Amino acid sequence: MAVINLWAKQGYMSTPDGQSIYFWGYSKGAAEPAQLPGPPIIVKQGEAVTINLTNNLPEPVSVFLPGQTGVKVGSQFVKPQYSGGNLISFVNYASSNGGTVSYTFTPTRPGTYIYESGTNPHKQVLLGLYGGIVVRPEDYDENTSRTAYGSGTDTEFDREYLIIFSEIDPSLHQAVIEGKPYMISKHHPRYWTMNGRCAPDTMLPDNAPYLPSQPYGAMVMAEPTEKVLIRYIGAGIDSHPLHPHGNHTRIIAMDGRLLKNGARDRSFKRFTVLVGPGQTYDQIFQWTGLGYTLDNPIPTIIPNRRNLGIGEAGWTMWSGSPYLGEKGEIPEGVVSFNEVGEYHFMLHSHSEPKITNWGAFPGGMMTMISIYPTGFLSPDVGVLSQPVGKE
Amino acid sequence: MAVIKKRYGATDGWINMPDGTVHYIFGFCDITDVPENEVFSYRGKATLLAPLLEVYEGDEIYLTLTNLGFPQRPDLDDTHTIHWHGFPNQISLWDGVPEASISVPVGRNFEYYYEPLDPGTYMYHCHFEPVEHIQMGMVGPLIVRPLIEKDPDYTGRKFAYNDISTEYDREAIIFVTEMDARPHHLVANVQVFDWTDYCPQYWMINGRAYPDTVKPPNDPSFPSQPYSAYIEGFTDEKVLLRFVNLGFENHSIQITGIPFKVIGLDAKQLKGLNGEDLSQWRNAVYVAPGQTVDAIITLPDAGKYILYNRSLQRNTNNGIPSGGMMTEINVLEV
Ligand SMILES: [Cu+2]
Ligand SMILES: [Cu+2]
């Protein structure tokens, strides 16, 4: 039996352009801050799960589990909740200012899912009450059988990343602080997030101390030829065309359903995946590049560096060399964030206004897929684990 | 395998809309084999779309990008790049992402190298401040043709992929973009725009809005919009439509009375890993920014058919119908 304790709280998140935005989020401890997104819930197929929610917010809040069946509160299945004849919640909720509720269910299928508030969702989900669920297949073993959907499903992976997308209209958040009405039909986002962060913060490591409410990075790090499982979740209300540079991804599952009919393989490769609201995608990215060795066969002559634009903004992620694992010269005054000659391939929304922070590029829904030389990354990079909850 | 050498200039220019308005753009122009002392005369001659890049899989392409500067905005010394969108196996130097490699300053050249490994429909665009440079028009089509066409058994026949089920008689590019005239005007006048207020008034196919889409290629009345979107063929012919979306909105395209057989998405034939046929019949082709779709239509009885955007508000020019993302298919009797 897995027990997950969540608290619904208010907090502040920050954007790279210096804004501090009020939000509602799930936290993993009574004394921990609200976080965006909520802590990932990582459970095993066939093992019962209990989610205990304590609500510290001034209105009822719930945990709604799209894609999970047989969710119960006590001995009853969850059901819609009404107040004065109006539907106020898709499922049972924890009442305001200290109420609690416990949900139990047994995940029957492996895959990637979302959890989110089912109460006033048009407001609460947009305010930040969402997170990801990963259900491991029954035969999953971190050391011997790392697959997304079980052995024999052709879903092996070496590293995995969870990337959750959403949008932020600061005027909604401001209206909630001021207790003023907000028309969801007039929703007009100014920020776009991956794991609750806007670029370039998406590329900072997990648990960066200056982002206490946004603990998860969105940088994808791998070595050549490794199979990288990238799990997308659309947690907002818009759809986003996500485009990785460097290679296609192979989509192996959507909405927690393996793309396979018996022996018939229905997976497919795409260079842009349109992630709709509430959708999830499991994909395998593999970088098998030309230009992998130092005696690179590719004809390259880099012109004099004075004739090239490098790091216009004063920084670059380039090594200064065309070759993987090699470092070259970077002009004076330009800071290179390149570690060991790794390649950085952008992963971003191709609806380009969404890679800005309130109109200013670079920002928003953008990160990098970083390909490091073989043997550089420690095995604990790209390992998803359940954050430990604290009473 | 051929070695292909090309040279493109990055510069600015002006385009026309059917309502008589003129709009400032950034873009590319083809300066392949132009003598060095004449290259300067291509300043201000950007086209929308940028020149078609057309190669066979396995070809080696050397593409030199020359930044010719913006004669309309000499104060603006933006660098440019070419990002070969959707190409696998890039090394990051030629990826065209200035934050992770290099870009090309005004008056300079840089040679990109590529060896396309897979056939299909792709696109290329500048990746410097991409929200601005893509909207301003630095976008072009890229086709990689399959090697099967070079097989003596198939001489003279055309295929989208290395599979005889993808054979076609004619092809057309349906490259969709939108334009919010406000940033184009503001950029021309050295002012800034809040890109989160993006809200287009013009919708284009191949750089033109209807009815200009049906006028011939290289029509002298649109010197900077060389592509036509008019399609003509005979009953029972198969026409491969190569959809590319380099706008910022999702678009759903229909043709009055003609279904699509979607055979490829994002330059991958719709085939399972074990060769299963995953092609699909559709009445609408729904394509998101940065996606490509290969669809084959079989031309029906003689007559005119309209290809249009099912988001019907996009069949307008600054609010006036009929216009926008629309063109015509003329089917002739055999
Ligand atoms: Cu540019
Ligand atoms: Cu692109």
What are the pLDDT digits (tens) for A9-51?
Answer: 999 999 999 999 999 999 999 999 999 999 999 999 999 999 9
Q: Judge whether B319 and B285 are in contact, CB under 8 Å.
A: no
Interchain contact, A355 vs B131, CB within 8 Å: yes
pLDDT band at A83 (very low <50, low <70, confident <90, very high): very high
Q: How far apart are CA A93 and CA B318, in angstroms?
A: 48
Q: How far is the CA of B136 from the centre of ligand 1 (A)?
A: 9
pLDDT band at A278 (very low <50, low <70, confident <90, very high): very high
Q: Judge whether B141 and B173 are in contact, CB under 8 Å.
A: yes
HSE (CB half, 13 Å, CA atoms) of A43? 25
Q: How far is A259 from chain B (nearest CA, A)?
A: 10
Residue B116: closest C-alpha in chain A: A290
Q: B228 is written with which tokens?
A: 């036509």
Strands B109-114, B60-67: pairing is antiparallel
Interchain contact, A345 vs B92, CB within 8 Å: yes
**Number of Cβ atoms within 10 Å of the Cβ of B130:** 25
The amino acid present at B106, given as its one-letter code, is V
- The predicted pLDDT at position A19 comes to 97
Q: Which of B111, B196, B269, B271 to mutate to test the interface with A (most CBs of A within 10 A)?
A: B196
Interchain contact, B196 vs A243, CB within 8 Å: no
Strands A130-136, A41-44: pairing is parallel
Q: Is the pLDDT of residue A356 over 80?
A: yes
Interchain contact, A346 vs B91, CB within 8 Å: no
Length of chain B: 334
Q: Which ligand minimizes its atom distance to the CA of A312?
A: 1
Which 3 state secondary structure label does DSSP give B295?
strand
- The predicted pLDDT at position B324 comes to 98
Q: What value, to the nearest 5°, has the Cα angle with vertex B24 and ends B22 and B28?
A: 120
Count contacts between A and B (CB, < 8 Å): 179
Q: How far is B130 from chain A (nearest CA, A)?
A: 7
Q: How far apart are CA B216 and CA B35, in angstroms?
A: 29
Structural domain boundaries in chain B: 3-157, 172-332
Which 3 state secondary structure label does DSSP give A309?
strand
Contacts of A243 (CB under 8 A, 6+ apart): A271, A272, A273, A347, A348, A349, A350, B85, B290
Instruction: Please report, in angstroms and rounded to a whole number, the separation of the first and last CA atoms in chain B.
Output: 37
* Of residues B91, B93, B272, nearest to A266 (C-beta): B272
Instruction: Please report, in angstroms and rounded to a whole number, the separation of the first and last CA atoms in chain A.
Output: 18
Helices H / strands E in chain B, number of each: 2, 22
Interchain contact, B268 vs A264, CB within 8 Å: no
Mean pLDDT across B80-88: 93
Query: Of the ranges B25-39, B80-94, B115-129, which one carries the lowest mean pLDDT score?
Result: B80-94
Q: Is the pLDDT of residue B131 over 60?
A: yes
Q: A159 is written with which tokens?
A: 């590293």
A310 interaction partners in chain B (CB closer than 8 Å) = 102-103
Contacts of A47 (CB under 8 A, 6+ apart): A1, A2, A106, A107
- The predicted pLDDT at position B274 comes to 86
Complex ipTM: 0.95
HSE (CB half, 13 Å, CA atoms) of B78? 22
Q: B298 is written with which tokens?
A: 């079989």
Q: Which of B91, B109, B252 to mutate to test the interface with A (most CBs of A within 10 A)?
A: B91
Q: How far is the CA of A353 from the centre of ligand 1 (A)?
A: 16
Q: How far is B86 from chain A (nearest CA, A)?
A: 6
Of the candidates A241, A174, A278, A168, the one whose C-alpha atom is nearest the C-alpha of residue B196 is: A168
| Phi, psi for A260 (deg, rounded to 5) | -155, 135
A269 interaction partners in chain B (CB closer than 8 Å) = 266, 268
The CATH number, out of the four listed (1.20.120.450, 3.40.50.12780, 2.60.40.420, 3.40.50.620), of the domain defined by the range A2-287 = 2.60.40.420
Contacts of A298 (CB under 8 A, 6+ apart): A290, A291, A322, B91, B113
Q: Judge whether B104 and B110 are in contact, CB under 8 Å.
A: yes
Mean pLDDT across A336-344: 95
pLDDT band at A302 (very low <50, low <70, confident <90, very high): confident
- The predicted pLDDT at position B88 comes to 79
B289 interaction partners in chain A (CB closer than 8 Å) = 241, 272, 350-352
Interchain contact, B290 vs A272, CB within 8 Å: yes
Mean pLDDT across A51-80: 98
Average pLDDT along chain A: 94
Mean pLDDT across A234-242: 98
* Model confidence, pTM: 0.96
pLDDT band at A390 (very low <50, low <70, confident <90, very high): low
Helix ranges, chain B (H): 130-136, 181-188
Q: A156 is written with which tokens?
A: 């092996």
Interchain contact, A351 vs B102, CB within 8 Å: no
Interchain contact, B250 vs A274, CB within 8 Å: yes
Q: Give the C-alpha distances (Å, rounded to integers) separating A299 from A230, A289, B91, B203.
A: 32, 15, 12, 41
Q: What value, to the nearest 5°, has the Cα angle with vertex B75 and ends B69 and B77?
A: 45
Q: Give the C-alpha distances (Å, rounded to integers) separating A316 from A223, A310, B109.
A: 21, 7, 20
* Of residues A190, A271, A317, nearest to B99 (C-beta): A317
Contacts of B141 (CB under 8 A, 6+ apart): B49, B52, B53, B121, B122, B123, B124, B173, B175, B242, B244
Percentage of chain B with pLDDT > 70? 99
Q: How far apart are CA A46 and CA A105, in angstroms?
A: 9
A189 interaction partners in chain B (CB closer than 8 Å) = 196
Mean pLDDT across A248-252: 97
Interchain contact, B91 vs A368, CB within 8 Å: no
Percentage of chain A with pLDDT > 70? 96
| Between residues B88 and B60, the one the model is more confident about | B60
Q: What is the pLDDT of residues A170-214, one digit of tens each?
A: 999 999 999 999 999 999 999 999 999 999 999 999 999 999 999
- The predicted pLDDT at position A391 comes to 56
B288 interaction partners in chain A (CB closer than 8 Å) = 239, 241, 272, 274, 350-351
Q: Is the pLDDT of residue B152 over 70?
A: yes
The amino acid present at B134, given as its one-letter code, is I
CATH code of the domain occupying B172-332: 2.60.40.420
Q: Is the pLDDT of residue A249 over 60?
A: yes
Length of chain A: 391
Interchain contact, A271 vs B272, CB within 8 Å: no
Mean pLDDT across A336-355: 97
* Of residues A190, A241, A309, nearest to B104 (C-beta): A309
- The predicted pLDDT at position A1 comes to 87
- The predicted pLDDT at position B236 comes to 98
Q: How far is the CA of B85 from the centre of ligand 2 (A)?
A: 5
Q: Which residue has the tokens 């206004």?
A: A353
Q: How far is A308 from chain B (nearest CA, A)?
A: 5
**Number of Cβ atoms within 10 Å of the Cβ of A314:** 8
Q: What is the DSSP string of A40-61?
A: PEEEETTS-EEEEEEE-SSS-B
Of the candidates A237, A232, A130, the one whose C-alpha atom is nearest the C-alpha of residue A189 is: A237
Q: Is the pLDDT of residue A294 over 80?
A: no
A262 CB-contact burial (10 Å; exposed 0-12 / middle 13-18 / buried 19+)? exposed
Return the exposure string of A59-72: e unless at least 16 CB atoms fall within 10 Å of the residue's CB, then b.
bbbbbbbebbeebe
Q: Which ligand minimizes its atom distance to the CA of B11?
A: 1
Q: Which ligand minimizes its atom distance to the CA of B81?
A: 1
Of the candidates B294, B267, B274, the one whose C-alpha atom is nearest the C-alpha of residue B84 is: B267
Residue B89: closest C-alpha in chain A: A289
The CATH number, out of the four listed (3.30.70.980, 3.20.20.10, 2.60.40.420, 2.40.50.140), of the domain defined by the range B3-157 = 2.60.40.420
* Of residues B86, B134, B198, nearest to A271 (C-beta): B86
- The predicted pLDDT at position A304 comes to 80
Going edge to edge, which strands form the sheet with B231-234?
A: B231-234, B326-332, B303-309, B251-255, B285-287
Q: How far is the CA of B129 from the centre of ligand 2 (A)?
A: 12
The amino acid present at B99, given as its one-letter code, is E
Residue A292: closest C-alpha in chain B: B91
B278 interaction partners in chain A (CB closer than 8 Å) = 266, 268
- The predicted pLDDT at position A299 comes to 66
Q: How far is B114 from chain A (nearest CA, A)?
A: 9
